[in-house]
Amino acid sequence: MRRHQLALALMLLSGCVRSTPSIDVAPITSVTLHGSQGAVLVRVEEANSPAERQQGLMGRTSLGADEGMVFVFEEGPVTDRFWMKDTLIPLSIAFWSADGSILAIHNMDPCTADPCPTYGAPAPYVGALEVDQGFFDEHGIHVGDSIELS
């Protein structure tokens, strides 16, 4: 066993085995957005822990057409702000209140140099949904519409 571990370590050091960094991703669930054009289902990964929230979609090069990341703050309403530091793809974000009403929607562009702009809601919120930039506009989702976790 020890010999096997040593051989593997030597292979890794010599570059014979390439390892891709792993990102711990929560299971995919879904959210339903209710807007003027009807209901829209979005498959999402949930960022539960502070580390997952900090990582967000940084380093990703694409999202599926109806996919995103959801941030749920079960500890209660928060006023945290989001930014796009080291995020490679343009995103849109929606913040919602405890009753599921969307409080704010922002389009966010990638940022590679400080200071990066930050994005928040006009009032404390319990969740945020990040999707490809323009998704909310394309599906007729606006402030005052609602979101439902599935």
Q: Residue 98 maps to which CATH number?
A: 2.60.120.1140
Average pLDDT (134-142) is: 97
The pLDDT-based confidence of 27 (bands split at 50, 70, 90) is low
Question: pTM of this prediction?
Answer: 0.78
In a domain, 74, yes or no: yes
In a domain, 66, yes or no: yes
Tally of structural domains, the chain? 1
In a domain, 12, yes or no: no
pLDDT in tens, 71-121: 998 888 999 999 998 889 999 999 999 999 999 999 999 998 889 999 999
In a domain, 17, yes or no: no
In a domain, 10, yes or no: no
Rounded to whole angstroms, the Cα distance separating 93 from 105 reads 6
Average pLDDT of the chain, as a whole number: 82
Classified as helix, coil or strand, 139 is: coil
In a domain, 6, yes or no: no
Per-residue model confidence (pLDDT) at position 26: 46
Quote the strand ranges of the chain, DSSP E. Answer: 28-35, 38-47, 67-72, 82-83, 91-96, 102-108, 118-119, 127-132, 146-149
In a domain, 28, yes or no: yes
Rounded to whole angstroms, the Cα distance separating 110 from 129 reads 16
- What backbone torsions phi and psi does residue 95 show, to the nearest 5 degrees? -110, 140
Domain hosting residue 57, numbered range:
24-149
In a domain, 37, yes or no: yes
